[in-house]
Amino acid sequence: MVSVASGPLTRTAFRRDVRLFLSGLVGFLILLILLLLLFLRVDLDRTEKTIDHSEAIIADVAADAVNGTPAANLPTQLVFFRSRFGVVHAAIDGKGGRIESGDAAAPVDEVTRVTRAGRLTLHFDGSERAAARRRFLLTAIICVAAVSFGTVLLFSYLPRITRPIEDMLEQARELGGRAGDQDETAYLIETFRSSIATLKAQEEELKRLHEIEKTRADDLERVTAALTRSLTSGLLAADANGNLVDVNAAGREILGVDPGLAVAGRAVEDVVPLLAVSAALRRGFAARTPLSRVEIEDARPNGDSVAIGLTTVPLRNEGGTFLGYLALFTDLTPIRSLEARVQEMTTLAQLGEISAGIAHELRNSVNTILGYMKLARRGDAEARLQSAEKEASLLLEAIDRLVAFARPVQLEAESVDLKQLIGEQGERLAEHAPEVRFRVDGPPLFIDGDRVLLARAFENLLRNAFDAVRAKGGGSVAVTLAAAPPTVTIADDGVGFDPAETARLFLPFHSNKANGFGMGLPLAKKIVLLHGGTLRLQGQPDKGAVATIEFGAAA
């Protein structure tokens, strides 16, 4: 077989050959349609000639009939022509006037003859001729439109038809050159045969690489399994459906799962006997959000309490598809037990310090009272007894303050303007301390709280600040209020205190003042805590102190 195409194998040559082929095909179709139109035109002419010949014969017959009919019978004869020969209208224009029958308003063919009675005019129905012409015209229009549409459609889609072959030719050309006498089709076949052979070889290479990667994956799985077994914390893995994949040995021991139980594919609730832990794992899976260091209190089947620290991590691929989740957990029961013991020891130590303070105050007061009683025996009993009574009153006041600190407090909440309340307390203290400059800065600050208790707390804090400034010989006490969050800062430039003593100052009967009972700061802190706030104290010796009270939310 000899190729019609010639020249080098290029995309331009292929496009030219395709266009030549399609142009020849379209030209052939156009020629066929023109021949069809020619045949239809010949058939139309033949039809019209047949109609003309038939009408001429009828007209001749009608003319002969009129020549042989008396004038009185001519109207009847015309009616006969209409009913017999399909004449829609007949008329005779003679010397006696016009005789006619029928209606000539519709499209008709007209034929005239000269008779003895006058001029005979016959009108025939022209619908058949008109229908033949319409069929021809409609067929011609359809043929021309079909050729035009087909041509436009063909050349519009020509790039889509030729582009894949052109790309194949271009790729084949890039893969290798052809021999000078090699046919284009043979060249393409040979090129793609070699390409398929290359792809097969690459497929084999990919299979080999896949086997290597699979071996590496198996090794990685073994290493991962070894690491999982070596973890001292619990590890639980679940798939995208929430079913377990594996639980390591440490996790089985922590959760109380049978070491020989097969967990793969089972629900968490069917494996984990700790109800609260399994419920937390199920919630974490349903939410598909990480849980960080959640502590769960639960009970084992035997009734023993257990504390589990849980962290979950959802697993997603690069496309964001949820693959499952991992859960890391540990048994916090020994740690919580140790913390409880430390807390108990701390509480006992604080109670010991409070008891020591109470004993110190009681011992000093009792010794003073006993001294006054001994002096009263020697004389001037009235003055000594008054001193003893005053010392007993001071002791009773200390005991009352201790009882007030320990007594449960019931809050009567209302909207309190802290700026107004602190201003009132500070002004009363400033009346007896002219050497202290007092000011309140900041906007009005409203919170929901107990006005009486808050007044007592701020009175104690302000009194400490005033006493520290007076002990130094003078200075200032500045109160600053802020609204976000509600915060009150009381700063003074008094004698200050050692930062190491900060924690002890909040314990009862620990005071840096000579005549202080050490109950003001503990009571103020208790009231602030009851209002959901925090009290922080900072200071330096001879540089003053700062008390910061921060509440949870504004009213």
| Closest of 309, 311, 306 to residue 333, by C-alpha | 306
To which H or E segment does residue 424 belong? helix 418-431
| Under 8 Å between Cβ of 20 and 195 | no
Distance CA 88, CA 107 (A): 10
Distance CA 67, CA 118 (A): 9
| Closest of 463, 454, 455 to residue 519, by C-alpha | 463
Report the CATH architecture of 231-331: 2-Layer Sandwich (3.30)
Distances from the Cα of 184 to the Cα of 158, 173, 218, angstroms: 21, 11, 50
Distance CA 459, CA 426 (A): 8
Distance CA 502, CA 507 (A): 10
Q: Where are the domains of the chain?
A: 25-156, 231-331, 338-406, 414-550
Residue 542 phi, psi dihedral angles, 5° rounding: 65, 10
Report the CATH architecture of 338-406: Orthogonal Bundle (1.10)
Q: For residue 168, what are the contacts with CB-CB under 8 A and spacing of at least 6?
A: 188, 192
Q: Which pTM value belongs to this model?
A: 0.38
Q: Which residues of 203-237 are buried (b: 16+ CB within 10 A; e: fewer)?
A: eeeeeeeeeeeeeeeeeeeeeeeeebeeeeebbbb
Exposed/middle/buried for 277, CB within 10 Å: 0-12, 13-18, 19+? Answer: buried
Q: Tokens for 4?
A: 């019609």
| Under 8 Å between Cβ of 523 and 505 | no
| Under 8 Å between Cβ of 401 and 431 | no
Q: Tokens for 421?
A: 């309340």
Distance CA 483, CA 444 (A): 9
What is the number of other CB atoms lying within 10 angstroms of the CB of residue 373?
Answer: 13
Low pLDDT (below 50) residues in the chain: 1-9, 220, 554-555
Q: Tokens for 13?
A: 């040559």
Q: Where are the alpha helices (DSSP H) in 97-183?
A: 127-156, 158-175
Fold of 414-550: Heat Shock Protein 90 (3.30.565)
Say what the pLDDT of residue 220 is.
47
Say what the pLDDT of residue 361 is.
55
What is the number of other CB atoms lying within 10 angstroms of the CB of residue 455?
Answer: 16
Say what the pLDDT of residue 24 is.
79
If phi over 0 gives left and psi between -120 and 50 gives alpha, with beta otherwise, what is residue 103?
beta
Say what the pLDDT of residue 373 is.
67
Distance CA 237, CA 226 (A): 15
| Closest of 383, 395, 334, 324 to residue 359, by C-alpha | 395
Q: Tokens for 337?
A: 């037990």
| Under 8 Å between Cβ of 494 and 468 | yes
